[in-house]
Structure 1
Amino acid sequence: MVPWRLAFAGSLLLALPVCAHEMAGKHGGRVTDAGSYHVELVAKDKTVDVYLLDSSEKPVPAAGFKASAILIVDGKPARVALTPADANRLTGQAQVPLNAAPKGAVQLTAPDGATASGKFN
């Protein structure tokens, strides 16, 4: 193989995990890994919704989960407490309006006490 092709192929392989880590969700947000779960973050104005999914992208009931989102707003962290709303959704209200794709993290505590976090870049 020509050296530049080998280097190009290697750079593609290195980029794959980054591309696969965060993807578009069915509710219009971004999905990332959070331990053994996937979480979809949807932000609209001051409302933050997080949808829980298992590793097969099937909904996980939100009942019994505790969570918080720590999002970056104008360079400062904004903490949003999230509570179960319905089905597989946790929701909360930020103090300030958010953009549609905020950076930050979601921290989960499952009903069994296990914790996990998912990062959004």
Structure 2
Amino acid sequence: MILHRLTLVAGLMAATAAYAHESAGQHGGRVADAGKFHVELATKGETVDVFLSDGGQKPVPATGFKGTAILVVGGKPTRVPLQPADGNRLTGTAPVALGDSPKGAVQLTAPDGATASGKFD
């Protein structure tokens, strides 16, 4: 009985750690699943940066990707086109300051034409 409880507690702790890891990214942004990718959304002022990684958290080169961030600012959706930058980053500039953690979504089109999206609450 004690072994059963210890196993349960260990499982819950591991699940909590995995969930916490998913919510914060390496670049100070929030992480969401987008199809077979993970996307990290980091905003500062008007700048939107999206970092791509695979299921194992390894960076995926942004070359050939296209994207759009649709973020809610002042109760209105703001579309920000994203272009590949250095490494695994796509970037764009919004017409207004976004704040640190805007709600919305990131839509991606991979070089092979596959699409995916990640939602940020």
TM over 0.5: yes
> C-alpha displacement at 1:72, in angstroms?
0.3
TM-score, normalised with respect to structure 2: 0.83
Structure-2 residue corresponding to 1:95: 95
TM-score, normalised with respect to structure 1: 0.83
Aligned length: 107
> Is the aligned partner of 1:41 residue 2:23?
no
More strand by share: 1
Q: Residue 36 of structure 1 aligns to which amino acid in structure 2?
A: K
Q: Residue 67 of structure 1 aligns to which amino acid in structure 2?
A: G
What's the % identity of the aligned pairs?
Answer: 70
User: Deviation above 2 Å: which 4+ runs of structure 1?
Assistant: 19-22
> C-alpha displacement at 1:20, in angstroms?
6.2
Structure-2 residue corresponding to 1:65: 65
> Is the aligned partner of 1:109 residue 2:109?
yes
Q: Which runs of 5+ in 1 are unaligned?
A: 1-11
Q: CA RMSD in A?
A: 1.9
CA offsets 1:57-97 (integer angstroms, 9 cap, x no match): 00000000000000000100000000001100000000000
Counterparts of 2:72 and 2:21, CA distance in 1: 19
